[in-house]
Amino acid sequence: MSRTADINFRLILRIIGFLLMVEGAFMFTGLPFSWVYDGIQNMALLYSGIITVVVGGLLYWGFNGKRMQNNIGKREGYLIVTFTWIIISFFGALPFILSGTITNFTDAFFETISGFTTTGASILTDIEAVPKGILYWRSLTHWIGGMGIIVLSVAILPVLGIAGMQLFVAEMPGPAPDKLHPRITHTAKRLWGIYVLLTGIETVLLMAGGMDFFDAICHAFGTMATGGFSTQNDGIAGYSPYIQYVIILFMILAGTNFTLHYYALLGKFGKIWKNEEFRYYVWIITIVTVIISTSIIIIANSGIEETIRETIFQVVSIVTTTGYITSDYLLWPGMSWLLIFLLMFIGGSAGSTGGGMKIIRQLLLIKNSGLELKRLLHPQAVIPVKFNKKSVSKDIIFKIMAFFLIYMVIFAFGSLIMSLMGLDFESAIGSAAATLGNIGPGLGMVGPVGNYADVPMLGKWFLSFLMLLGRLELFTVLIIFAPAFWRK
């Protein structure tokens, strides 16, 4: 007879409490913007921060005990990661509700989890009417979620006497996180250091192009997190070509494995181009951009520079799962927007802030499929899949195949569910692909010039679940539904 697994719920609640206090502290950083732009009477962020910090403090100190063991096992790691994203989204919705920006809790939760999962799917129809302090918090949820509030906590939890390795493994994007340092806390700190540095550089470059500090930092948050929330109703379309080129560059950097940024800082540029995933990433962007821009120039007789700029912007935005928009790609020639839809299933690089399946998985699947043909001809031969000239174990290949299969099954199931909720075919498959891939804009009513405001309430909750699944790469969430997870 199976027994229930011993799970340290006191430790889980204590860590969630600590992370809520961190979230509340982030809310307070928006107060200067709120008071300068919206007036001293706008106290939504202050009240929300206080509530979040107080609840977090009660959990943290309420479940503290001298005899409590602080070791995080795999089960605790998965539960902490999954429920933290849900709970911080619950409290993160408070500024929207208390400010009156969004009065419906379903919509507020949808907007918030869309931010933390860096999806960028929005229900707001008039963004420029939203108070600046709330817009800052909306963009900040991207930035926090980009590298993961869990990874941030990994750098801090050891100070509290709690090891964080299991959290890092559970949350870090990609098949396997690259370690820049043998100690996981140093790895997390270096990743965040690079993240902060790139955000700061982009902010300065955007200001040099004419953006004020508020818009620059909000768009830098959205770019580096590959999130896509903008402070303008027309997104990036209304900004100058210079601004658009800067954002293209930093979307590419955000979709790149952050380990390669670390190598770049050390001057080891040779390692960057030797990385197969990075080369594949660059070739995807280049080839798709050439195909689409050429077809638009020939068919629509458009200007060359503007067409190439708008094309590469949309290609990079979709493949990195950022979701910023400068052009309505649904108006492009049929083959062009079909390519954009296919890009929604690729995703950024492993170890980047991008969502989706991840390029490394696509690359290894293609390599394994090619080798299967050789194995048919030479059944006795041992022909391993290689990545960066190193053999990849069959176990990893099997996991990637399972991930791909489950991803596509969830996409198909999600499309069916959204169709049953009244969405037309294009909108159903577009919403499922865009939320599961953490992209934001999809097809149909949720396309580049639409949003998710008219999606039924149950549909918004279901799409919120898809965002969570996509951000935590399926298994982290799905594993807690397995009966074996709760048994010894």
Environment class of 83 (CB within 10 Å of its CB; exposed 0-12, middle 13-18, buried 19+): middle
- Number of Cα atoms under 13 Å in the Cβ half of residue 339: 23
Per-residue tokens: 284: 């995807």
Q: What is the DSSP letter of 129?
A: G
CA distance 80 to 78: 6
Which of the residue ranges 281-285, 300-304, 446-450 would you say has the lowest mean pLDDT? 300-304
- 295 in Cβ contact with 333 (< 8 Å): yes
DSSP sequence for 272-289: HHH-HHHHHHHHHHHHHH
CA distance 44 to 130: 13
Closest CA to 416 of 454, 466, 452: 466
- 89 in Cβ contact with 444 (< 8 Å): no
Environment class of 120 (CB within 10 Å of its CB; exposed 0-12, middle 13-18, buried 19+): buried
Neighbours of 128 (CB within 10 A): 12
Integer CA distances (angstroms), 431 to 219, 252, 362, 435, in order: 23, 24, 22, 6
The pTM for the full model equals 0.90
**Residue 1, pLDDT above cutoff 50:** no
Question: Which secondary structure element, helix H or strand E, spans residue 362, and what is its range?
Answer: helix 359-377
Q: Mind listing the pLDDT tens digit for each residue in 357-413?
A: 888 888 888 888 888 777 777 777 677 888 888 888 888 888 888 889 999 999 999
Closest CA to 356 of 364, 347, 365: 347
Residues forming beta bridges with residue 392, ordered by sequence position: 385
Q: Mind listing the pLDDT tens digit for each residue in 52-111?
A: 999 999 999 888 765 555 667 778 888 888 899 999 999 999 999 999 999 999 999 999
How confident is the prediction for the chain on average, in pLDDT? Answer: 86
Give the length of the chain. Answer: 488
DSSP sequence for 1-46: ---B----HHHHHHHHHHHHHHHHHHHHTTHHHHHHHH-TT--HHH
Q: Mind listing the pLDDT tens digit for each residue in 256-289?
A: 988 888 889 888 888 888 888 899 999 999 999 9
As a whole-number percent, the residues of the chain with pLDDT over 90 amount to: 51
Question: Which secondary structure element, helix H or strand E, spans residue 47, and what is its range?
Answer: helix 44-62
- Number of Cα atoms under 13 Å in the Cβ half of residue 402: 11
Q: Mind listing the pLDDT tens digit for each residue in 138-193?
A: 999 999 998 775 575 555 445 444 445 455 555 555 555 555 555 666 777 788 88
- What lies within 8 Å, CB to CB, of 272 at 6+ separation is 260, 263, 264, 278
Closest CA to 94 of 69, 76, 111, 71: 111
